[in-house]
Amino acid sequence: MVSNCTLACAGACNTPVNFQLCQRTYLHETVGNFVEGLWLNTTPYENVDVFLDGALLETVAGNSQGYAFENLTPGVHTFGIQGICADATRSDLVEKQFTVVDASPHTNVVGEVFCEFLDDDPATAEVDPTTVATFSTLGRDESVFIDVFLSNETIGLGFVGRLFTDSAVDFTVNVRGTEPTDRIELQFFSDSPDDLCYGSELVVCQFAGNLFVRGVCNGIGTVPNISTPIFGLNWLFASGEVPPCLAACKANGDGSVNIADMVFILNFLFGSGAAPPGWDGINPVCELEQVENCLMANPLCPL
């Protein structure tokens, strides 16, 4: 009896399979035109050789199943991978051609993406703080999958997970353990004939509210100065200009705006008083407030 092995043959240095190429970023970004290569190892390799346009680019660890091709010039390139086994034998070389572009061709991907931050439930303490993004792709160019990222000052941009659309058009994404100023960012990927695809530009969700710095009643800068309590006092007692964000004027955090908040700011500035609640020591922190209590965001947030 003759045995045909089509994926992996025992004892052989089998060839990597499912070699996929997808362009993730474009010319204007830090890593320039970046194409991600992914594959599946069918043999425990010692190393994997990675090739670009017929030349060896790098030898990576044998358990690698992905590689980032960065700062690529636009045009057609040939990408390749080859497994190296323990006895120094080599698998067949797998190559694919891919056209690198300077701007994403996958543009009409989604309508507005809205975010909402939910506190944990104080009654049960079982639910982590969660950022929820909702969006629809109805009437847009079809995407086969969507990558979800979380961005903040600590991690920058971190990968959260991947959604396969399966022809759905309405989506809700929940990311737990977040902070009020964290952002969900999405990247949509086009149909991928022959395992080739292009990602959209990153789409950042928008909160149904505005970011502010507590104590900066006039909305100028991120740290109050003498003009801040003067602005608040004029509004309170002299029919002065309405604050752009009422929540920012609640400097002492007691939930209302009155002369005590302006005194609190003066004590902070000149009397060694405490920083506004919610700050990180003496460092200002952006907070989120519903639009009805904060008509205009502080333009310097998030910090």
Q: In the predicted model, is pLDDT for residue 6 greater than 60?
A: no
- Give the mean pLDDT of 178-187: 87
pLDDT at 193: 67
State percent of the chain over pLDDT 70.
93
Residue 70 lies in a domain: yes
- What sign has the CA pseudo-torsion 229, 235, 237, 238? positive
- Give the mean pLDDT of 267-286: 93
Q: What is the pLDDT of residues 216-227, one digit of tens each?
A: 999 999 999 999
Residue 12 lies in a domain: no
Residues 233 and 222 in one domain: yes
Q: In the predicted model, is pLDDT for residue 274 greater than 60?
A: yes
Residues 156 and 130 in one domain: yes
Residues 181 and 256 in one domain: no
pLDDT at 273: 93
Residues 265 and 279: their CA atoms lie apart, in Å, by: 13
Specify the CATH number for the domain of residue 286: 1.10.1330.10
Residues 192 and 142 in one domain: yes
**Sequence-distant (≥ 6) Cβ neighbours of residue 225 within 8 angstroms:** 269
Residue 251 lies in a domain: yes
Residues 187 and 218 in one domain: no
Domain boundary (183, 207, 231) is at: 207
Q: In the predicted model, is pLDDT for residue 1 greater than 50?
A: no
pLDDT at 29: 75
Residue 10 lies in a domain: no
- Give the mean pLDDT of 43-60: 97
Q: Domain limits at 56?
A: 17-100
Domain boundary (207, 230, 245) is at: 207
Instruction: Please name the amino acid found at residue 201.
Output: E
pLDDT at 220: 94
pLDDT at 17: 95
Residues 123 and 199 in one domain: yes
- Strands 206-207 vs 114-118: parallel, antiparallel or unpaired: parallel
Higher pLDDT, 108 or 181: 108
Average pLDDT over all residues of the chain: 89
Residues 173 and 228 in one domain: no
Residue 262 lies in a domain: yes
Residues 191 and 234 in one domain: no
- Separation in Å, CA 82 to CA 9, 72, 136, 271: 16, 21, 41, 69
Q: In the predicted model, is pLDDT for residue 265 greater than 90?
A: yes
Q: 259-270 and 227-237 helices cross at what angle (nearest 10)? A: 170
Residue 1 lies in a domain: no
| Token pair listed for 190 | 């086009």
CA dihedral 40, 43, 47, 49 (to 10 degrees): -50
Domain boundary (190, 207, 224) is at: 207
pLDDT at 122: 43
Q: What is the pLDDT of residues 24-40, one digit of tens each?
A: 999 877 778 999 999 99
Residue 277 lies in a domain: yes
Q: What is the pLDDT of residues 131-180, one digit of tens each?
A: 889 999 998 988 989 999 999 877 788 999 999 988 888 999 989 888 87
Are residues 148 and 173 in contact, defined by beta-carbon separation less than 8 angstroms? Answer: yes
Confidence of residue 7 (pLDDT cuts 50, 70, 90): low
pLDDT at 127: 63
pLDDT at 5: 54
Residue 6 lies in a domain: no
Confidence of residue 123 (pLDDT cuts 50, 70, 90): very low
Domain count of the fold of the chain: 3
Residues 162 and 273: their CA atoms lie apart, in Å, by: 47
Higher pLDDT, 153 or 72: 72
Specify the CATH number for the domain of residue 27: 2.60.40.10
Q: What is the pLDDT of residues 99-119, one digit of tens each?
A: 999 999 999 999 888 888 777
pLDDT at 125: 56
Residues 119 and 203 in one domain: yes
pTM of the model: 0.67
